Chain A
Amino acid sequence: MASVTLENVIKRYGDLQAVHGVDLEIRDGEFMVLVGPSGCGKSTTLRMIAGLEAISEGTCRIGDRVVNDVPPQRRNIAMVFQNYALYPHKSVRENIVFGLKRAKTEPAEIHKRLAEAARMLRLEPYLDRKPAALSGGQRQRVAMGRAIVRDADVFLFDEPLSNLDAKLRHDMRTEIRRIHKNYGTTSIYVTHDQVEAMTLADRVVVMRDGWIEQVGRPMDIYLHPANLFTATFIGAPSMNILDGTLDADGVHLGSHTLPVPPAKQAVAAAALEAGGGRARPIKIGIRPDFFEDCAFATMGPNSVRLDGLRVEIVEPLGFDREITFHIGESSAMARLDLRSDIAEDSTIDLCVDLERVHFFDPDSGKNLELVA
């Protein structure tokens, strides 16, 4: 096992720069997830770590070794590909032990590890089949098996679950979590699915357009997004971003006024001062999950009421119900539970804890709490 360190890593394809200088340390035994929208450079970053893509500038270290010029076969890594990349002419068994044989592992040891992986991934009945005779989920597990039998320093995953259906994806997520718990191998996992990122990661790297937007533990990113991009990208349903105005009285959102919570007062004052004390526009971010129906809410010291909101749409989802309502000029979404049995086109009073409300600078998109 080993840590992985990227220092100012840049990737260029001709004139196009795909990755703009990534600084990242993945600690020994850590499960790191790279997440971001399509084309943001996640795969490119992962493939540079694997050695499948040359590094244009910067350094990549695995453990203490600089691997920029080390070919993939000498990096001692294992990788699970999005399209599995199983050897079509080899049986499941041969696919799994292929790397072990190459590493001249003792036959008894190969046998042991194969048996263990096959049991863990429930592949025993399929060991003699060719990949073509397997379902997508089974192929996925073979690809996983091929990685875990190896004594690799680092496991790399490039969207390994994106070809599976929702239920299988959920099962495999649990499986991957279990494997990581058992083996504790340093893992780097690429996905565009923020649910996978949240559930699997020790830490998450949020990327956009070849830049890192934020690095942190999943809950830290969820609760304290650094900017508008991570705020809306992480969390489902996505955070409401509302247009408001900040002045000395607080934040105005349509006819409602939210006081600035104590923790953010210094930042707000500084922001106002920078604008010569005039009222300035601001983006307000509130997650749908943090709205509460005032009828059932327990009011804390920082709770505020937003009264008389007009409900436009109600979508019952079983235990949850998502409602779309109007506030100020914008429409927003709240996730309530089945106790709030409201009709469309009626009104509702919603409560929210100010600690859970984010204020973003509309120009830079930065979260004002983190600017301080």
Chain B
Amino acid sequence: MKPQTVLERAENRFGWQLVAPSLGVIGLLILYPILYNVYLSFFDVQLVGDNVFVGLENYQRLLTDSAFYDSLTTTAIYLLGTVAGTTLLGLGAALLLNQDFPGRNVVRGLILLPYFAPVISVVFGWQFIFDPVNGVYNYMVVEVFNLTDERMNVIRDPDLGVIVVIVFDIWKHFPIAYLLILSKLQSINTDLYEAAAIDGHGPWGRFWHVTLPELYFVLGTIVILRFIWNLNKFEEVFLLAPNVQTLPIFTYYTAFTGVIDQGLAASVSVIQFVLLCGLIWFYVKKVLKW
């Protein structure tokens, strides 16, 4: 810590005073459930009667449960697919719509639609597309292009379902990436492109040496935001393809269906939370270099 002047110290104090109330509220609203969750994860939770302290038993059971590992794998695939997909598609769309062409403003508006649309209604639309009997997907694959003979229930299949869920998420959420990237693109000084052209670089070199470095931070932010959102994402996955068990859905099934084991579910949450914190810490330190 550098020695501070009176003014700097006063400013610091003022800053703390400003954030103190919100820190207090956030602390209560967020910290309490988290701590309670951690607490629960050490118990065999009874719906009626007293909880029984079981120490690390919940964790032991989890770490030997192959369903948990399957869920981890699914989550990893889901995260990789959606984070990469939304970022790349958003980048592509932003680059394209940063060019001048007739009708650009209309397209710029339309592209945001999936992001505005309510999850519940678009989910049903998507389910209809993949419907084994009436859906467009099976019609195209089987009748039009004859890729296979048999109609499949893609959404209900846990392995194929994850792909549908990924595509759905990319479709629904790339507009936010697009929006953030486009606004940054528009603020890049055109002088830099001209300087790079003069220095001998064609379009690709200019993208690599001017655009990408300027976008680095915004891309990094998109990746981490999408990561956090999707690691915790429940409703889209659950509504669209309930057989795709990412961690939140696995937790839900454990906590509220079948044997109803809330202690075990709590320990999944704790692991998920620790995972998230670790990844964010690593990312912020190493990639964003805050």
Is A103 engaged at the interface, CB distance under 8 Å to the other chain? yes
A177: min CB distance to chain B, Å? 23
Q: Is the interface of B mostly helix, strand, loop or mixed?
A: helix
Q: Name the distance in Å between B192's Cβ and chain A's nearest Cβ.
A: 6
Q: Please tell me if the beta carbons of B200 and A99 are within 8 angstroms of each other in the complex.
A: yes
- The answer on a CB contact under 8 Å between A73 and B200 is yes
**Chain B nearest Cβ from A164, distance in angstroms:** 17
Asked if B149 is an interface residue, CB under 8 A from chain A, the answer is no
Stretch of B3-11, B201-209, B225-233 with 4 or more beta carbons under 8 angstroms from chain A:
B201-209
Q: Which of B192, B197, B200, B209 contacts A103 (CB 8 A)?
A: B200
Contact A52 B194 (CB under 8 A): yes
Q: Which residues of A contact B216 (CB under 8 A)?
A: 89
Instruction: Give Cα A81 to B189, complex, Å.
Output: 12
A252 at the interface (CB under 8 A from B): no
Measured CB to CB, the closest approach of chain B to A44, in angstroms, equals: 14
Chain A residues with a Cβ closer than 8 Å to the other chain, count: 22
Chain B residue with the shortest CB-CB distance to A156: B198
Is A85 part of the contact surface with B, judged by Cβ < 8 Å? Answer: yes
**Are B202 and A73 neighbours in the complex by a CB distance under 8 Å?**
yes
Using a CB-CB cutoff of 8 Å, which residues 66-87 of chain A contact chain B?
Answer: 71-73, 77-79, 81, 83, 85-87
- On chain B, the residues within 8 Å of A167 by CB distance are none
B213 within 8 A of A: yes
From A51, A102, A146, B205 is in contact (CB under 8 Å) with A102
Q: B215 → chain A, closest Cβ, in Å?
A: 11
B198 touches A102 (CB 8 A): no
Check B199 for interface membership: any CB of A closer than 8 A: yes
How long is the Cα–Cα vector from A31 to B202 in the complex, in angstroms?
Answer: 28
Check if A98 is an interface residue, CB within 8 A of chain B: yes
The residue on A at minimum CB distance from B200 is A102
A91 CB to nearest chain B CB (Å): 12
A residues less than 8 Å from B191 (CB atoms):
81, 83, 85
Minimum distance in angstroms from A359 CB to a CB of chain B? 45
Cross-interface CB contact of A98 among B199, B202, B214, cutoff 8 Å: B199
- The answer to whether B209 touches A52, judged by C-beta atoms less than 8 angstroms apart, is no
Question: Which of B201, B202, B213 is A89 in contact with, Cβ under 8 Å?
Answer: B213
A284 at the interface (CB under 8 A from B): no
Residues of B within 8 A of A188 (CB): none
A50 close to chain B: CB less than 8 A: yes
Contact partners of B200 in chain A: CB under 8 A: 73, 99, 102-103
Inter-subunit contact B197/A73 (CB<8 Å): yes
Q: Give the residue of A77, A83, A88, A89 whose beta carbon is less than 8 angstroms from that of B198.
A: A77
Specify which chain B residues have a CB less than 8 angstroms from the CB of A99 in the assembled complex. Answer: 198-200
- For A72, give its contact among B198, B209, B210 (CB under 8 Å): B198
The complex places the Cα of A258 from the Cα of B213 at a distance, in Å, of: 69
Distance in Å: Cβ of B184 to nearest Cβ of chain A: 13
Which A residues are CB-close (under 8 A) to B210?
Answer: 87
Question: C-beta contact mask, B21-44 vs A, less than 8 Å → 1, else 0?
Answer: 000000000000000000000000
Are A87 and B198 touching (Cβ within 8 A)?
no
Contact present for B201 and A79 (CB under 8 Å): no
Instruction: Give the distance in Å from the alpha carbon of A89 to the alpha carbon of B217 in the complex.
Output: 12
Residues on the A chain within 8 Å of B189, using CB: 83, 85
Task: Collect the chain B residues with CB atoms within 8 Å of residue A83's CB.
Answer: 189, 191
Residues of B within 8 A of A150 (CB): 199
Kindly list chain B residues whose C-beta atoms are within 8 Å of the C-beta of A71: 197, 202
* B192 lies within 8 A of A87 (CB): yes
The reply to whether A85 and B201 form a contact with Cβ atoms under 8 Å apart is: no
Chain A residues lying within 8 Å of B202, measured Cβ to Cβ, are 71, 73
Is B201 within 8 A of A73, CB to CB? yes
Query: Within the assembled complex, what's the spacing in Å between the Cα atoms of A343 and B200?
Result: 62
Cα of A83 to Cα of B198 in the assembled complex, Å = 15
B191 to chain A, nearest CB (A): 4
Contacts of A102 in B (CB 8 A): 199-201, 205
Residues on B with beta carbons closer than 8 Å to the beta carbon of A98: 196, 199, 209
How far, in Å, is B163 (CB) from chain A's closest CB? 37
A residues less than 8 Å from B194 (CB atoms) = 50, 52, 72, 79, 81, 85
- CB pair B209–A87 under 8 Å, yes or no, is yes
Among A51, A85, A89, A103, contact of B195 (Cβ-Cβ < 8 Å): A85
A98–B192 alpha-carbon span in the complex (Å): 12
Query: Would A79 and B195 be within 8 Å (CB), given that A71-B202, A99-B200 are in contact?
Result: yes
Shortest C-beta distance, A135 to chain B (Å), equals 19
What is the bound-complex CA distance between A146 and B200, given in angstroms?
12
Tell me the smallest distance from the CB of A290 to a CB of chain B, in Å. 43
In the complex, chain A residues whose CB is within 8 Å of the CB of B213: 87-89
Are A78 and B198 in touch, CB under 8 angstroms?
yes
Minimum CB–CB distance for B204 against chain A, Å:
11
Q: Is the CB of B197 within 8 A of A72?
A: yes
Complex interface: chain B residues within 8 A of A51 (CB): 197
Q: Which residue of B lies closest to A82 (CB)?
A: B191
Cα A14 to Cα B192 with chains together (Å): 25
Report the nearest B residue to A87, measured CB to CB.
B192
Smallest CB–CB gap between A88 and chain B, Å? 8
Contact A87 B195 (CB under 8 A): yes
Give complex CA distance A150, B214 in Å. Answer: 25
Contact with B along A95-120 (1 / 0, CB 8 A): 00011001100000000000000000
- Would you give the shortest CB distance from A16 to chain B, in whole angstroms? 18
Of residues 348 through 369 on chain A, the ones whose CB sits less than 8 Å from some CB of chain B are none
Task: Give Cα A99–Cα B198 distance, bound, in whole angstroms.
Answer: 8
Which residues of the other chain, B, contact A79 by a CB distance below 8 angstroms? Answer: 194-195, 198
The residue on A at minimum CB distance from B189 is: A85
Given A85-B191, A87-B209, A102-B205, is A52 in contact with B199 using a C-beta cutoff of 8 Å? no
* Complex: A85 Cα to B189 Cα, angstroms: 8
A71 to B201, CA, bound (A): 10
Residues of A close to B195: CB separation below 8 A: 79, 81, 85-87, 146
Chain A to chain B contacts (Cβ below 8 Å), 6 pairs: A52-B197, A72-B198, A73-B200, A85-B189, A98-B199, A146-B199
Contacts beyond the supplied A81-B195, A98-B196, A146-B195: 13 A-B pairs with Cβ under 8 Å? A71-B202, A73-B198, A73-B200, A73-B202, A73-B205, A78-B198, A79-B198, A85-B189, A85-B195, A86-B195, A87-B213, A89-B213, A102-B200
